[in-house]
Amino acid sequence: MRTRPGARAGQYAALLGYLVFLALPFLWLLSVAFKPARELGSLHPTWIPEHPTLGNFRQAFDEQPLLHAAFNSLLAAVSAAVIAVVLATPMAYVMARRPTRLARAASGWVVVSQAFPFVLVIIPLFLVLKNLRLIDSVPGLVMVYVVWALPFALWMLVGYVRAVPVELEEAAAIDGAGRLRTLVSVTAPLLAPGIVATGLFAFVTAWNEFFFALVLLKTPEKQTLPVVLTHFIGTEGVADLGPLAAAAFLATLPSLAVFAVVQRRITGGMLAGAVKS
């Protein structure tokens, strides 16, 4: 279908506007991170720092164990994402391909569970982890993140599995492939974009999560990045703005890097086979 040049230009303009809208907070964060304290108090703030400084980064690293916290966050987020995907994929396959009454009820419950507040589970969860001696441990936190991400991951993956035509699996069976071979050679490659997207969702959720990490981790050496970021905030919301922005900017980088690496995989996978060559 051909698009008129005027409409195309409008689409690009809208897309550009949307990108700018999305990017503004990030660009402002970047700007603040490089501004000296005196520029932060200016009545006429500028996008480009007049006297850019690395002082905020230096202070942020001096005051808080950011690298260690980032490592803890990365460990927790990657572990949670991998485990959630490994557990959710076969479950999603069964739920999609064998839609029993129980599976349908489970799907409904997953949707309803999204409305439950964090505080409802935190105390029982705290007690359980305490009994397991997993309070103040990154593995304990990973366990919570997996449990937290699993239903939504399952929900996402069920949709992806349903989108894979069952006829492909039937054709593979007719060609003599066993169930495992069909799953590995036919279904899994088609599911790859969904698995990556689900893993990404689990990763970002865990990477950004604050409340569980705050409550479950005590030792400073085990705290994750979102918890450490709050140490730049004082009473009545007063913030050490420069170092906070510097640390927050660094905290966004891993998410961006993961997106940059996998986004091609997602779009590539989604489009694979869409057009007959």
- Which residues of this chain interact with another protein, rule CB under 8 A? 37-38, 40-45, 59, 62-63, 109-110, 112-114, 116-128, 130-133, 135, 144, 147-152, 210-211, 214-215, 218-220, 223, 227, 230-241
Q: Which is nearer to another protein, 125 or 186 (CB)?
A: 125
**CB neighbourhood size of 96 (10 A):** 19
- Give least dist CB 29 to another protein, A: 16
- Give least dist CB 206 to another protein, A: 12
Q: Which is nearer to another protein, 155 or 249 (CB)?
A: 155
SS3 (DSSP) at 239? strand
Picking from 85, 67, 120, the residue whose alpha carbon sits closest to that of residue 254 is 67
- Give least dist CB 38 to another protein, A: 6
- Give least dist CB 218 to another protein, A: 6
CA dihedral 68, 69, 70, 74 (to 10 degrees): 100
Phi-psi region of 223 (alpha: psi -120 to 50; beta: other; left: phi over 0): beta
- Give least dist CB 88 to another protein, A: 11
Q: Which is nearer to another protein, 11 or 230 (CB)?
A: 230
SS3 (DSSP) at 233? strand
Picking from 196, 203, 212, 220, the residue whose alpha carbon sits closest to that of residue 256 is 203
Summarize the chain as % helix, strand, coil (round to 5): 80, 0, 20
Q: Which is nearer to another protein, 7 or 105 (CB)?
A: 105
Q: Which is nearer to another protein, 65 or 270 (CB)?
A: 65
CA–CA distance, 20 with 16 (Å, rounded to integer): 6
